[in-house]
Structure 1
Amino acid sequence: MELQEILSSSAVKTTDKATSKKKLLQDLGQHCADLYGLNADEVFQALQDRELLGPTAMGHGVAIPHARLPGLDAVRGFFMRLTKPIDFDAVDRQPVDLVFVLLAPENAGAAHLKALARVSRALRDPAVCAKLRAHDADESVMYYALLGSETSKAA
């Protein structure tokens, strides 16, 4: 599975408005709802419920919140770079500034796991993260290009 199958250039944003994990998940829920025709409250609640099972922060400033939702026809993604890192309950206690949301249909099974593995492999690479952090806040298209090229290499 290639990243471009689940992420469009319009699903890449930068923000300086995230002040807490809850606020970030609400904002992400709204962005995903707007982009994919979902209910923002349902997206937020699904992401929040998943976080209650255990934090989705991987460490080193990266989080991959994910959830299964009714109403989706395929796995969808949304990437956000935070210009002001926030606490995300990471095991290494480092604040998060790179967030990749994965939303999957309720019955996605292997497709959800493959997408999660692909994104996780790419964002565990310190070089990829450094490149993502090196770009200015207004370069959403550059983030998309970097993520696409790096995840295709991670296959």
Structure 2
Amino acid sequence: MSEPELNLNPTRPYLARAIYEWICDHNLTPYLLVDATRPYTDVPTQFIQDGQIVLNAAPHAVHRFTMGNDAISFSARFGGVSRDIYIPVAALLGIYARENGQGLFFDPEEYTNQQDPQAPLATDTTETSEQETVKKKPTLRILD
């Protein structure tokens, strides 16, 4: 009798959270290495080099920092302008301390066969097109 195949979540978000906490506990600066070419990644494009960007995620440099199982999000200033950042965990290539380079770097192919949680689920196209034609565009009205 064979064992049922377990559908385990990737370890990347769990390891990233642990390394982030370790870096911060040692008063070091956590840097995130991000693949800016991955779908749904929202980072400042002017700082992307070779399809990647390194972001300072130190608690004093970011606001509303959230590192979940699907994505990392926060707000930070770039050139004095506040920007909301969104990084799917699949786009996180590494997390390391600026001061000594210690951290973790992840296999870029780990999420290749994973269903993207932000991607729309495949449905019957005739049903979708019928629903789209029925929907009306939202309107805003000022009442006196």
Query: TM-score with structure 2 length normalisation?
Result: 0.28
Give the structure with higher Rg (CA): 2
Larger helix percent: 1
Instruction: Work out which structure has the larger RCO, using CA pairs closer than 8 Å and 6 or more positions apart in sequence.
Output: 1
Query: TM-score with structure 1 length normalisation?
Result: 0.27
